Every structure is written in C-alpha cells, then in structure tokens.
Amino acid sequence: MLDETDDIHPLFHGAPASTEFKKLRKRIVRHTREAVEQYGMVEPGGKWLVCLSGGKDSYTLLAVLHELQWRGLLPVELLACNLDQGQPGFPATVLPEFLQQRGVPHRIEYQDTYSIVVDKVPQGRTYCALCSRLRRGNLYRIAREEGCTAVVLGHHRDDILETFFMNLFHGGRLATMPPKLVNEEGDLFLYRPLAHVAEADCERFARAMNYPIIPCDLCGSQDGLQRQQVKQILDGWEANSPGRRQVMFRALMNARPSHLLDPKLFDFAGLSTEPLKSDGNPEGLPKLR
C-alpha cells in the first residue's frame, strides 16, 4: 500500500513509517477485506453506521474501513457513531474532536443508559447483558434515523472465540457472535468486519497510531467476569501452544454437523446402511482395485 501524504486517508496521517507497522496495517486490512467478501457484507447502496466506543478495537475498525473505502474496495457510505451512555467522567469531547480533525462524517448521541443499568442490576451482578441490550437498541434507532442499512461493530477474532467458550462452559450450546446477521425486526444487518483480526493486532495498531483510548468504566471495571475468566484460559493455552487461538478459530469455520450431536442439524434417525453383496462391497458400487 502507498503511504505518501497525498495518497492516504487522514485517519492514517502520522502513522509510523516502520516496515513492522506497514506489515501490521496490511495484515489487518487484508483480514478485514477477506471477512467483508467471505460473508457478503457489501450490499448495493449500503450505508454503514460504524460504532465507535473509543476503545482500541473500534478505532482500528474505523481506520481500516476508511482505508478500504479510500482504495475503492468498499463501495458503501460510512457514518461513525459514538453513543455516550452517561458514565461518570466520560470524556465527551475526545471523540468529536478526533473525528472533526480527520474529516470523518459522524454522529454523537447522548443517552443516559448508565443510570438505568446501575439501578436495575443487583449489586454484585455484571452489567454487560443489560448495557448491551440498551446500547444495541439505541444504535438500531440511530441507524434507522440516518438511513443506514447496517450497524457495524468492532468485535474481533478473540471476542468471537471467547463468546464461543462462554456459551460452551456456561450456556450449554455451541454458538458465538456471527460476522453477519439480521436484527430481530428484520430491517438491519449487523456486521463484524474484524472477525478474522486478532486482538493483539488491534492493540498494536491503536498503540502505534497513538489513538486517544477511552476505557470502559462500566462493565470493564468489574472483576471476575466470565469473559475475563475465559480470556485467561485462552491466554494460558496460547502461551503453552502458540497459534492455538487461530487453530480454534478455523474450527469454527469448519463445522461438521454429522459429527456433532444435534438432531436438528443432522438427520441421525434417517441414516441408513447399504446392503453388502457377497464380495463385501455395497451393492452397485465398483470394487476397489
């Protein structure tokens, strides 16, 4: 990719000129483009509401999507959106200034869901589920008001793996966050273009770009979350066997319903055998030579 000043999106101005960073950037862009193409995320006349929380993942998402659009590889309109949920001490000016300085079309929305979550969730319980539902509902509303066809989130490969194991360990089901789905109302897509991107790459990218990271002071501040526990397990596996995360992620893309136990996915009851001929071969099949 070219890095001359007149051939780069403003989101990348000031990017490190090192070979290491260029390889990192190229890898993230390639993985994102692969996910967009593999899961059919581009629809004619598409307009994407790109959700920006101020964390490393959403900054990476925003930059890479604009990179692809800049190169003519993502023919959709992009609108960045930050939902200020009213957390105490949230630096409300950081994201508007960041987006304005870089000429990124955006919408900043204030909705005090923080007070609702703190009021409704019993002491000692995690806020994530209710916080997520309230946030998602507001984002869908904003997407409709802006004429968007899709809500786009910054979940990466490791988020998807952690969700899979949370469902496995605590939910009793094989499921995770898909890269593409349709909302319950059936009028909006939800996309996760970073589905193939490693969290470590997002972290290195955001740090190298010196983005103004805003930590989550709601669920992110609570200890003992199931997701944190799963993350520690995966970290241990990765430390003992480097590359384990990627192998497990490939497994999610290589499901074999006939080798699982769900009769709703595979007709076990309808399986039948072929009668053998006297020579030991099923009838009608040629002999092996």
pLDDT of residue 151: 97
* CA atoms of 36 and 179, how far apart (whole Å): 9
What is the band of 283 on the pLDDT scale with cuts at 50, 70, 90? low
The CATH H-level (homologous superfamily) assignment of domain 5-259 is HUPs (3.40.50.620)
Return the bridge partners of 191, or none. Answer: 152, 180
> Higher confidence at residue 193 or residue 14?
193
Residue 134 has a pLDDT of 84
Q: Where are the domains of the chain?
A: 5-259
pLDDT > 70 fraction of the chain, expressed in percent and rounded: 88
The model's confidence at residue 49, banded by pLDDT at 50, 70 and 90, is very high
